[in-house]
A and B are shown apart, each in its own frame.
Chain A
Amino acid sequence: MRRVSWFNVTSLTFGLAFLYLPMVVLVVYSFNANKLVTVWAGFSTKWYGELFRNEAFLDAAWVTLRVAVVSSTLATVLGTAAAYVLVRGGRFFGRTLFSGMLYAPLVMPDVILGLSLLLLFIAIGLDRGMITIILAHTTFSMAYVAVVVTSRLVAFDHALEEAARDLGCNRWDAFRLVTLPIIAPAVVSGWLLSFTLSLDDLVIASFTSGPSSTTLPIKIFSAVRLGVSPEINALSAILIGIVTVGVITTSLMSKRAIAKRIRDENRAET
């Protein structure tokens, strides 16, 4: 039996509390029957019902979802292509500059990125709306995809692609049939990362969204400024639920993949 160290228990409790207490409070109050958020008046799910009748929130959620899907897909394609060129392209003119520029959105403050995109859209006369949010989100998530995919490509055995070429593939087929399936886990996590980044982005979206299109984070933020309503609590609780399920699923999936691999390797030895 391991001795329980009070120090460990205390720090674990404080750590978890620090991370999750606010969320627990939020979820609990989302089931509050009272209109006053901070005064408990019994359990109720009526705010969830209210939420689903609120057109504005539903519209914003729908916009957010579409923006997230389209921009993360675009970012995945572009980011993977960029990573591939950086790792496989050998030396070409401007390689260092290109790689530096690709990673710039990672360190650039969101405000500056948002402002510069806004100026660009105004300069080229592009009306602000869903298109501009998608473009903006693609721009910065592509950098994250590139980072994730690059790290996988660096570990990828170049001889595999050569073997594919040797067996009759042109460059594109070799990429499609050998490289892509092998780096697929990194591409998928790049997509998921972009998706989450797009879902919870407030700053850049508020610069690039127009009156016709508002994303959920903007909607929540502006609603909260008028006062926290129980509806917002309900909405946030739903979002927390979605994210939790997503995180648990991915980690379970990768755990099972690792376990399967270990089993297979043991079997190969016998």
Chain B
Amino acid sequence: MAENPRKPKPPTDVFTPWEDPAAKPLIEFRNVTKRFGEFVAIDDLTIDIYEREFFALLGPSGCGKTTMMRMLAGFESPSAGEILLGGKSMVGIPPNERPVNMMFQSYALFPHLSVWDNIAFGLRRDKKSKSAIAARVDEMLRLTRLEQFARRKPHQISGGQRQRVALARSLAKAPKLLLLDEPLGALDRKLREETQFELMDIQEKTGTTFVIVTHDQEEAMTVASRIAVMEHGKVMQVDTPAKVYEMPNSVYVADFIGDVNLIEGVFSRPAPETCQITYDESEPPIHLDATPGIAEGARVTYAIRPEKIRVSADRPDDLANAAFGKIIDIGYLGDISTYHVELANGQMVKAAMTNSTRVSRREFTWDDEVWLSWRETAGVVLDH
């Protein structure tokens, strides 16, 4: 995963309320299940989300992300279980009485109102004074850079501008909790990155808690304090971006986030402090550092990210693991190249190297025989 150069220091160093047993969560999902007829959209979900978090929901289409949001906003009620907001049960509380605003996946802008009136809509419901409303709307317009479109109707502006109006409208009321359902999907890459930083900025300034749905992993990695990876209405893992990436707890999560090599083998402990995985009789085993909690002889999957594997012409002697193979394919991605290497036993392994030299002087080419090497700590062992 390409690192964003503007990425600020991850908030995880300082901001970890989920590790503090005394912290009170803002949102609590307690064994929430949502059924649509026979279909189970959310399956016995329990999650705590804390104040000031930037919480990202990641998962394939149809896994229940929007459904979770809609239950928080009050448009759907759980079939079983309970949702608490600021310690208060939300059962039976209508959407207009929740301190929550949502940005809809479809934007849902009011077509009969101008951009200005769309943004002012929520403020007017609060019976704020005219001047207070005007000041707030203008502030939102400035923030989303929509000043010159204030008088236009939604059908008179472009898709990306519409998305920003939707964002401005949901931000205007400065809610305690803001739900963003794929807020940046329609923006081009540059504007999307800018808006991501704006969102983080807004979050820092206002202290609003954000729950954001995204299909874009890089976006989740950039903005989120924690990521929940979902599948079929279940949360597979909730962790900081770094942990989800470096220490996935399941094959599903490892495979879903970023690029990964998955190697199946048998786990063994030849000596008390040394662990290894044998994936092929003819290949040397993969050496690991101490890996507690896995039984001798268990079938496991070894997950290792391509960028953790080094490609070299000669066998390196400084790394614990080495394997010999032939380059089958090279994927050139600009900043990095991915080498698809076939080991002697037919196992394919991907290795990524940064392109510090120009392509013409690249060291390896198709059909070259190379050594792959990596540390004991480079991968994770995933129990079946």
Contacts and interface: CB of A to CB of B under 8 A. Distances in A.
A167 B121 contact: yes
A165 B112 contact: no
Contacts of B158: 268-269
A245 interface: no
Given A159-B108, A164-B121, A265 B155 contact: yes
A167 B122 contact: yes
Interface string A174-192: 0001100110000000000
A162 B122 contact: no
Given A264-B155, A265-B155, A268-B156, A168 B125 contact: yes
A154 interface: no
B327 to A, nearest CB: 47
A51 interface: no
User: Taking each of B112, B153, B158, which has the highest tally of chain A beta carbons within 10 Å of its own beta carbon?
Assistant: B112
A200 B343 CA distance: 88
Interface residues of A, number: 23
Contact of B104 (A159, A182, A265): A159
Interface in B137-166: 152-153, 155-158
Contacts of B74: 165-166
B75 interface: yes
Contact of B102 (A166, A178, A261): A166
Nearest to A266: B156
Nearest to A270: B158
A38 B170 CA distance: 72
A60 interface: no
Given A162-B104, A166-B73, A168-B125, A264 B156 contact: yes
A102 B334 CA distance: 65
A187 to B, nearest CB: 13
Contact of B108 (A160, A169, A173, A181): A160
Nearest to B122: A167
Nearest to B105: A159
Given A166-B73, A166-B102, A160 B125 contact: no
Contacts of B104: 159, 162-163
A162 B112 contact: no
Contacts of B326: none
A261 B155 contact: yes
A163 B108 contact: yes
Contacts of B126: 168
A177 to B, nearest CB: 8
A168 B96 CA distance: 4
Interface of B: 73-75, 94-96, 100-102, 104, 106, 108-112, 121-122, 125-126, 152-153, 155-158, 169-170, 173
20 contacts: A157-B106, A163-B108, A163-B110, A165-B96, A166-B170, A167-B173, A168-B96, A168-B125, A169-B96, A169-B125, A170-B94, A170-B96, A177-B121, A178-B110, A264-B153, A265-B155, A265-B156, A268-B152, A268-B155, A269-B158
The 10 closest A-B pairs by CB, nearest first: A168-B125, A167-B122, A163-B108, A159-B108, A165-B95, A268-B156, A181-B112, A264-B156, A168-B96, A166-B102
Interface of A: 157, 159-160, 162-170, 173, 177-178, 181-182, 261, 264-265, 267-269
